Chains A and B, each alone.
Chain A
């Protein structure tokens, strides 16, 4: 089996959160060096909530300052902090009942990396970071005796929206059938899988025939023609989202390669306009030179025949296939 690249990419997006009438003032308070709780009957909730946690009745915003001191009610130790943690040295996560609050705030306690300094019942005190953004990470806690007095300059506009780069790293080997398909492209070949039940040829193969519910293996693989018929196309005006690198409109099409039963979707066409495209048009793949081909963009979920393996697709000049005959392949 060919040894190709592992899939390694990070799916991430800078999501936003609207903070609403209770969390907004809470985050604004943190930026301005104050911790606020929400009144709920004769109790004060910190962190504040928009509704009564017992009755679920909506609470009118009524915020009151709590802390900055409090008591550790319970805690756990983070011995090996990750990049997303608030400290680069070991620290505690603790339930902290702030002075004046009736509920516990879960937050980070910095003891200089010493777990022996953490105790249930210990007094802690809030410390605000020099750079504050209206985030729960604007504050952290230290043992009361280690706390420094701080003068905090309040910000200007209230916090109404926050941004969070949330991501998931995907790191896995290519599935064997994907690796063989990708290797085929590097060799200038389109590899499909022929169903042992129906004889239908799928490109790229999924490793199984979803219609007959049987596995397909290397033994079922066939090289198919690199000449085919356009069965669908669309012009894309790229939506400018995070990570989008496309800026200009272009054509994307599905091609049913000769001898196959399922079109390859998502083939990008850069040198023809949408007006030059027709369903039924015969096209051939003009490959890049072997040393210029790359399949890095193929992972286990996305990527069929990427532009990094072909120079272009060009019309063969043969007569079109009537659209009626392509009806069952029109995606």
Chain B
């Protein structure tokens, strides 16, 4: 049986900030949820099931938060599911919600992801609570150096991505970082955190939540809201360590994108996809994912960045919203990529809209670059490629 078509019908985001000191955790997730419901023209009564995701519980020290948040999300008498795939969780959560609609099990599903990073310390949590933690940047830096060595990319590529995403963020009212005077010089001169990553090439630590209302084709018709049809999605996993692992171009990432494109009939992603929201927490991951997800040939990704192709006005815009480099409520960051891809094809991306965007992708990765979740959305259910 063919899956039920599934569309994004409502999108809600909070303002992302270093510390959202004006709200509780309940208040934070409700802020995004109520905006998504309003955007969908729906109420809690219309929701059949809820799918929630966040990064490890140790980040806030709230164990099994889905239980305490169930009331705040209107889940009484309804199923609530929690998804957990480290940093990729926001996108995995959205895809799990899509599965529930596609299966025909539920008509309308609310999906939400969040992080309130200010309540704990991510590096502490990622270090198992022990001294001497390496953190995400320390883990990824040697792989980035390997990418640079392999691709012969010039060092300014990372700086360019850092500037481009922060300039895009100036057009996004929800973005955490608004750095109007960002420049390549400022990035280059900011402190070196993990060679070759400077402070301004790294993501911030944010509080925030993101939510979507998903519905099947009947609900989409009734809602009258512009739909973003989820025309393809894929998740893949690999071990964090094994002999033969390519950390620069992980096999699970390659296979995830192959599956994503195959299902949608995409044969030339660079030409057939209009724009992408890729999970880029450290600047160099833009060219690495352009290659690792088959948008560019191996060794060619950095040339797209260098040529300005990934800028908002370029031929393949990436992270129009400002990306993870501008807002990073970890658990929500993958869902933000997914909903910003949906914003583009719904024509609701405001100042950072790519004119006429018809097909877009949202992407996230997690753990030691070992979990992948990607979705493709379109303004049409069966778009002409």
By a beta-carbon cutoff of 8 Å, the part of chain A in contact with chain B is 11-13, 15-21, 23, 49-51, 53, 55-56, 58, 160-161, 164, 166, 200, 210-211, 232-239, 241-246, 252, 254, 261-262, 265-266, 268, 274, 279, 301-302, 323, 327-331
Contact = CB atoms under 8 A, between A and B. Distances in A.
Nearest to B24: A20
Contacts of B246: 327-328
B129 A20 contact: no
Given A18-B22, A331-B142, A331-B143, A13 B245 contact: no
Contacts of B264: none
B344 to A, nearest CB: 30
Contacts of A241: 121, 123-124, 127, 133
Interface residues of B, number: 59
22 contacts: A11-B129, A18-B24, A18-B116, A50-B27, A51-B26, A51-B71, A232-B143, A233-B142, A234-B134, A234-B195, A236-B135, A239-B135, A241-B124, A243-B130, A246-B131, A266-B134, A268-B132, A279-B142, A302-B128, A323-B146, A327-B246, A328-B243
B24 A17 contact: yes
Given A211-B242, A243-B131, A56 B22 contact: no
A252 B138 contact: yes
A265 to B, nearest CB: 8
Given A245-B132, A254-B142, A331-B245, 8 more contacts: A13-B121, A15-B60, A20-B22, A161-B21, A234-B138, A234-B142, A274-B195, A301-B128
B382 interface: no
Contacts of A239: 121, 123-124, 133, 135
Residue with the highest number of chain B CB atoms closer than 10 Å, among A12, A164, A210, A330: A330
A252 B134 contact: yes
Nearest to A306: B132
Contacts of B121: 13, 239, 241-242
B238 to A, nearest CB: 11
Contacts of B141: 234
A279 B150 CA distance: 13
Residue with the highest number of chain A CB atoms closer than 10 Å, among B125, B127, B243: B243
B194 A13 contact: no
A33 B232 CA distance: 57
Contact of B128 (A11, A51, A160, A252): A11
Contacts of B244: 328
B255 to A, nearest CB: 17
Interface in B182-237: 191, 193-195
B142 A330 contact: yes
Contacts of A49: 71
A20 B119 CA distance: 13
B118 to A, nearest CB: 7
B131 A210 contact: no
Contacts of A15: 60-61, 119-120
Given A328-B246, A330-B143, A12 B119 contact: no
Contacts of B19: 18
Contacts of B118: 16, 18
B149 interface: yes
Contacts of B127: 241
Nearest to B34: A58
Contacts of B26: 20, 50-51
Contacts of A266: 134
Contacts of A53: 71
B72 interface: yes
Contacts of A246: 131-132
B21 A160 contact: yes
B73 to A, nearest CB: 8
A51 B30 contact: yes
A61 to B, nearest CB: 11
Contact of A13 (B23, B124, B239, B240): B124
Contacts of A50: 24, 26-27, 30, 72
A211 B243 CA distance: 9
B247 interface: yes
Contacts of B24: 17-20, 23, 50
B368 interface: yes
B239 A56 contact: no
